[in-house]
A and B are shown apart, each in its own frame.
Chain A
Amino acid sequence: MKKISILLSIATVLFSACSKDDNKDTADAIKGTTTLTFDAKVGSEDFALNKDFTISGTTYNFTQLRYWISNVTLTNTDGTVYKVPSSYYLLEENNAIAVQDGKFEYPATKREDVSISGIPAGTYNRITFSIGIDSTYNDNLSLQSGELSQLNGMTNIAWMWHTSYIFSSLKGTRAGTAITIETGLNTNYRTLSFALPANVTINSGTTSHFTLDVDVIKIIDGLDLATTPTVGAAVPAMMTQVADNYSTKAITVSK
């Protein structure tokens, strides 16, 4: 009985301590919305599925481009940082995908836009986000946040016999040979941060829009896909290269 009452008092303290966040703003009405567009490219061309592209003299044809954008923050010109809650977004362009050995099908999807609402009114000059899933969520598929799901073919149970997320996946053919380029180790998680080209004012009366270019040529930069057409856990150094490509060259702010 004594234990129970101690527990109850601890619980009371904890729970009363957290109920204060609810009405910290004078009104939700002043909060704003913005849209991030991740515009997939092949060099200067628009990315497209099932279409031949020539990269360094070799023909590529892609069937899938998918990657997670997570843990988005926006930095106000006054230095305060707004962390977008539950920000796990699956960006993708893919043909229909057989999930769970074909037990069901994930439909063909094209998704380049992420709409973020509830942003405190202010002027922002920096955006930060990660490619992949942080280890807390990557290591535990039962923790749910944002768009994380076991059902979209971006978890892998047999792959490495790991139960975790695939961070990024690019599939297609190179000179007629199938290629698969995936990342997903906790060490492949990368955070990117960009100063915005101009300050952006966000409030209930504004419409704002950031565009980031995602260049597939840069994603595969430096990979010897002729020798190793499958980039996965068996070639960790190549996975690291892909993760580095995403964070250092493949994604740029265009406007």
Chain B
Amino acid sequence: MRIVLWIVLLSAGLLACDQSQPLPEAPVSVPGNFPAMPATPGNPLTKEGIALGRMLFYDTRLSGNNKRSCASCHQQSLAFADSFALSNRGVSGKQLHRSAPALINLAWASNGLFWEGGSTNLESQAFGPLTNEDEMAQNLYELVAELNGVPTYVSLFKSAFNDNINAANIVKALAQFERTLISGNSAYDKGVFNEQEKRGLILFNERCRSCHATELFTDNGYHNNGIDSDFSNDTLEGIYQGRFRVTYDSADLGKFKTPTLRNIALTAPFMHDGRFKTLEEVVQHYSNGIKISATTDNRLLHQQVLSAADQAAIIAFLHTLTDTTFIHNTQLSNIQL
């Protein structure tokens, strides 16, 4: 069941004081079992901003070679992930060092973005893939000039932001659209389970829920989940060292962001580097594959091995988190100018 909440904050109204005609806030449909959507006073959701962001998300003009869009690596049919462990589909054709994360319920991702949490909000985060030479490799000056060559964009930016096309407004629009990628209409949400799935949910709550917490199935935290135990490789600006590369705190070695498990059956392969091809491999890892080091999450130590039947039950439960309305939602689908 869904209810419609108006995402309106007094602060947004106050911030809008210096603008002559602020746009009305957009109504966003939030699943009834979700917490309230956190406010983004610097970039309130508007109908115009979301529509513009959607158009930009699917537009290959946003890449240096005009062949890649955000959607190239974040496909709706795969819950806005891709099917690769480490993609080489960026502009340079070089293999990336991170698996493209699924974009689900990011409006609630209030504790950092990227696998190690280096970016604080979706607006700033967007500059990463946009400008990285192995991802979209977009010269931001060129992008603004290119979009200015499309009269429809000029008027859409005007109506969304009452402003010209600039880099800040581009990422604001993208962030608005990303915040509407809301998934909460799965069999789990409807409470529809068979016996195996029901048992899987009980096991899941015992073994997995403390990190894959709440109705969002993430605690938005960073954990060393025991997939590695040696973090001495500090090449590539510490890319193998997890959150340590952001905080330089040795307690953060090997810690990565807890991903949501919503639509997890659609987003293989798994982990920050896509090392596990199947959910079976993932559950096996948590059952009896934990590698121990100084920062391994305590909750993963001294756990009992899961029987084959228990592993199968957990996997059956995970499939109940698939939301087919999300991947077929026409309000989120490809729209091109």
Contact = CB atoms under 8 A, between A and B. Distances in A.
Contacts of B217: none
Interface stretch (A67-75, A107-115, A152-160, A209-217): A152-160
Given A160-B118, A161-B114, A161-B116, A15 B17 contact: yes
A19 B132 CA distance: 43
A198 interface: no
B50 to A, nearest CB: 15
Give the size category of A's interface with B: 20 to 34
Contacts of A254: none
B140 A141 contact: no
Contacts of B42: 140, 142-143
B141 A3 contact: no
B123 to A, nearest CB: 4
Contacts of B10: 10, 14
Contact of A139 (B13, B124, B167): B124
23 contacts: A7-B24, A11-B22, A14-B10, A14-B13, A14-B14, A14-B17, A15-B16, A18-B14, A100-B131, A103-B142, A140-B42, A140-B120, A140-B124, A141-B123, A142-B43, A142-B123, A157-B127, A161-B114, A161-B119, A161-B237, A162-B119, A163-B128, A164-B120
Interface residues of B, number: 45
A161 B245 contact: yes
A45 interface: no
A206 interface: no
A151 B130 CA distance: 13
A124 to B, nearest CB: 26
B126 to A, nearest CB: 8
A101 B246 contact: no
Nearest to B139: A103
A9 to B, nearest CB: 11
Contact of B175 (A100, A101, A142): A142
A234 interface: yes
Contacts of B17: 14-15, 18-19
A29 B171 CA distance: 39
A175 to B, nearest CB: 26
Given A157-B131, A160-B246, A161-B116, A142 B172 contact: yes
A160 B116 CA distance: 10
Which of A19, A139, A161 has the most C-beta atoms of chain B within 10 angstroms of its own C-beta? Answer: A161
A3 B6 contact: yes
Interface in A225-255: 233-234, 236
A180 interface: no
Interface of A: 3, 7, 10-11, 14-15, 18-19, 100-101, 103-104, 139-144, 150-151, 155, 157-164, 233-234, 236
Nearest to A158: B237
Nearest to B16: A15
Nearest to A163: B124
A140 B132 contact: no
B76 to A, nearest CB: 24
A142 B171 contact: yes
A150 B123 CA distance: 12
B6 A161 contact: no
A10 B24 CA distance: 12
B245 A163 contact: no
A143 B239 CA distance: 28
B231 interface: no
Which of A10, A14, A140 has the most C-beta atoms of chain B within 10 angstroms of its own C-beta? Answer: A140
B114 A7 contact: no
A151 B167 contact: yes
A19 B114 CA distance: 40
B125 interface: yes
B121 interface: yes
A171 B215 CA distance: 49
A162 B125 CA distance: 9
B248 interface: yes
Contacts of A159: 237
B151 to A, nearest CB: 24
A18 B6 CA distance: 23
B13 A10 contact: yes
A226 B137 CA distance: 36
Top 5 nearest A-B pairs by Cβ distance?
A142-B123, A18-B17, A163-B124, A161-B118, A139-B120
A101 B64 CA distance: 13
B168 interface: yes
B245 A160 contact: yes
B26 interface: no
Contacts of B172: 142
